[in-house]
Amino acid sequence: MMNDATLHAPAPRLRYSLIAAFAGVAAMLGGCVSADSQQALQRAALAAAPMAAPMKGWQSPLRATHPLVGRIWEVESERYLSADELVEALATKRFVLLGEKHDNPDHHSLQLALVDALASSGRLAGISFEMLASPITPRLKTLPTRTFESANALAAYLEWDDRGWDWELYGPLVKRVVDLRIPIAAGNISRDQMSAMYSPASDEADKSAPPRSQQPLSSDALASLRADIDTSHCGMLPESQFDAMLRVQQGRDLEMARSLMALPSASGVRVLIAGNYHTRQDIGVPNYLFAADSARAPALERGDIVNVSLLEVATGELEPAAYLETSLGQASADYLWFTPALSDKDYCASLRGEG
């Protein structure tokens, strides 16, 4: 069970029949139900749904009273789960990808709780971090033989890039995994590899990107990824850099997949800590696990890989499905865990000098 020291569930567990009943009422009323009435039904269902939050409470300041906050949505069954039900489901899988918004402290607290729960179940085989790059791998292999006088000493040994990844947010989870003697893998490419990918003729770029014969994404998925790269750069990225950025994105996803495959234990659950975009089922790391090393993952099936997307709630949006990307005919996530938001800052406006 999920340890009450890390998570609490103040609302009673919701029986699936209750959600089905609310959905059935809405279906029977059909077009006679106003938007306000539909929202009222959604709020009633959410009020009864299981809720799980960090024991120390939510740290992000925005929309903490939003009805979806603390709810866990299972995409396939379209129902809300308790934290214990989520852990029980995750413990049966081979690969569990825990997504995050990097700067949201609540996402890190919930990831730590999930990792603790998987470790307590005896099913945690290893963990890979997007935040660690491949050159640190030799040091990762020595961690079981070392002790550290402080979390900062551990960060120094790992040459943690605190400018890119706030150690105050990531340190508790990294230290916990080290203390548990759980194998750790580096999920990111090196700076040199990244630079090489901007020069497609280089040998290093060829080794870091998926071979054309093993391209795990369809042409539609690649087009979607390319469009998202443009959007994520606020439409300000020169088109001449699109191909290079696409190689980098794919190279990083492939490296994360390879790092999961390289973890020493073939049994138990292998976990990835990465940004939500990398963990997406439709265009992210799950697709590269099949291409990474088929000899080390015999009979790997899509059901062996699940992801949990930790998502900030949006104002006025109570429908979980609205937070999914399904443009390619496949849902981007298996489980959604909703949290308050950290900021409403318009990053694109800042880049354009508007704010």
Q: Find all residues with CB under 8 Å of 139, minimum gap 6, and list them.
A: 157, 158, 159
H-only helix segments in the chain: 16-29, 35-48, 83-90, 105-120, 137-142, 151-157, 167-179, 191-196, 203-208, 219-232, 242-262, 285-292, 347-351
Complete domains list, the chain, with CATH? 57-351 (3.40.50.11550)
Which residues partner with 8 through β-bridges?
53
A 10 A CB-CB count for 147 gives: 9
What DSSP letter does each residue of 70-87 carry, written as one string?
T-EEETTTTEEE-HHHHH
Q: Which residues of 22-43 are buried (b: 16+ CB within 10 A; e: fewer)?
A: eeeeeeeeeeebeeeeeeebbe
Query: How many Å apart are CA 284 and CA 305, to the nearest integer?
Result: 12
Quick one: tokens of 226?
Answer: 């390319």
CB 289 within 8 A of CB 300: yes
Walk along the chain (355 residues) and give the pLDDT tens digit of each residue: 454 334 433 333 332 333 333 344 344 344 555 666 767 777 777 777 788 888 889 999 999 999 999 999 999 999 999 999 999 999 999 999 999 999 999 999 999 999 999 999 999 999 999 999 999 999 999 999 999 999 999 999 999 998 889 999 999 999 999 999 999 999 999 888 888 887 766 555 555 556 554 678 888 888 888 888 888 878 788 888 888 888 889 999 999 999 999 898 668 999 999 999 999 998 999 999 987 655 555 578 888 999 999 999 999 899 999 998 866 678 899 999 999 999 888 777 766 666 5
Kindly compute the dihedral angle of the four CA atoms of residues 276, 277, 279, 281, in this order, to the nearest 10 degrees.
120
